[in-house]
């Protein structure tokens, strides 16, 4: 019995926050990694975190992904120790692995013919692309999205678009924090439920897309100011006198921005008119 328990422990190693921080820091301090990812929309630290998570958690058959993901979401862990400002800037941000088969054992169905989609390599695996969801809590959520292909009717779509989400069981669909009517296939970002729940109240009465956009920008700015305050406060508590400079907000903490007023109005109109994935599927 003791040997079995030892074997079981060996087969399910634990990846600690300290180990993640160490590996992520080494990556974004690697000149080759930075050069290879310099054109990506996501922050360099978030790209490094994603690569480490993919390598040591998602693709590691010995690791139980359920220990690190809540549904499809993993939160960047805090080491509760001094760390580089760059890693600290992404602590508490969220990474979503939008792969329904890997995370739930479910094959998404094609909305055109109802047959199971064949999933292809993720956009992150192919092109190091992460898909942003803008929310009211602060910086965007970053998603690993898989293209889906139907062998029967030749339809294509992303794993995070509305009609594919609608075909999933409710408890699975809800793990993607976007109202399905807003999960439009013709957008390069989505608006999270925390944002659209507010916009659905504001837009019919005021039609003020600029105000909605301002709320999203303000959420990012407030989050950045909070991260800076927390970092310097903790640094001071250790007795050190000269903390390193924190990361710049524009270009490092935030590298992609919420839609402006016109874009939000367009998205709201499309969502309200019931525009769904079928109009965007390629054949």
What is the pLDDT confidence band of residue 3, given thresholds at 50, 70 and 90? very low
Token duo for residue 150: 């139907």
Which pLDDT does position 206 carry in this prediction? 67
Helix axes 261-272, 209-237, angle to 10 degrees: 120
Nearest to 75 by CA among 60, 96, 61: 96
Q: What per-residue string of b and e applies to 118-137 under the rule 16 or more CB within 10 Å gives b?
A: ebeebbbeeebbbbbbbbbb
Give yes or no for residue 210 having a pLDDT over 50. yes
Q: What is the pLDDT of residue 21?
A: 96
Q: Which residues pair with 156 in a beta bridge?
A: 149
pLDDT for the residue numbered 149: 87
Q: Stretch 221-250: mean pLDDT, rounded?
A: 92
E-assigned strands of the chain? Answer: 73-75, 94-98, 118-119, 131-134, 141-145, 147-149, 156-158, 190-191
Q: What is the pLDDT of residue 109?
A: 82
pLDDT at 228 over 60: yes
Burial of residue 43 (number of CB atoms within 10 Å: 0-12, 13-18, 19+):
buried
pTM across the whole model: 0.89
State what percent of residues in the chain have pLDDT above 90: 65
Asked if 97 and 58 touch (Cβ cutoff 8 Å), the reply is yes
Residue 126: predicted pLDDT: 86
- What is residue 13's predicted lDDT score, i.e. its pLDDT? 66
What rounded mean pLDDT belongs to the chain? Answer: 88
Name the CA radius of gyration of the chain, rounded: 20
Say yes or no to pLDDT of 63 above 90: no
Cα dist from 115 to 35, 86, 118, 147, whole Å: 41, 44, 9, 16
């Amino acid at each position: 019995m003791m040997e079995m328990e030892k074997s079981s422990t060996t087969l399910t190693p634990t990846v600690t926050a300290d180990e993640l921080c160490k590996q992520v820091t080494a990556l974004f301090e690697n000149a080759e990694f930075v050069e290879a990812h310099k054109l990506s929309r996501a922050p360099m630290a978030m790209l490094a975190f994603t690569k480490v998570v993919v390598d040591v958690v998602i693709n590691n058959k010995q690791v139980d992904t359920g220990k690190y993901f809540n549904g499809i979401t993993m939160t960047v862990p805090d080491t509760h120790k001094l760390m580089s400002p760059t890693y600290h800037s992404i602590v508490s941000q969220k990474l979503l692995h939008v792969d329904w088969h890997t995370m739930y054992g479910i094959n998404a169905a094609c909305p055109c013919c109802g047959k199971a989609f064949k999933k292809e390599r993720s956009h992150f695996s192919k092109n190091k692309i992460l898909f942003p969801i803008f929310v009211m809590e602060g910086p965007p959520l970053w998603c690993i999205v898989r293209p889906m292909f139907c062998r029967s009717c030749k339809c294509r779509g992303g794993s995070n678009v509305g009609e594919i989400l609608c075909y999933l069981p409710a408890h699975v669909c809800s793990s993607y924090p976007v109202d399905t009517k807003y999960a439009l296939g013709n957008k390069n970002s989505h608006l999270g439920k925390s944002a659209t729940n507010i916009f659905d109240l504001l837009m019919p009465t005021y039609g003020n897309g600029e105000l909605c956009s301002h709320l999203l920008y303000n959420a990012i700015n407030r989050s950045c100011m909070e991260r800076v305050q927390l970092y310097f406060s903790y640094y001071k508590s250790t007795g050190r006198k000269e903390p390193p400079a924190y990361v710049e907000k524009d270009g490092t903490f935030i590298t992609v921005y919420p839609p402006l007023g016109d874009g939000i109005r367009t998205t709201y109109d499309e969502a309200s008119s019931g525009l769904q994935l079928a109009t965007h599927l390629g054949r």
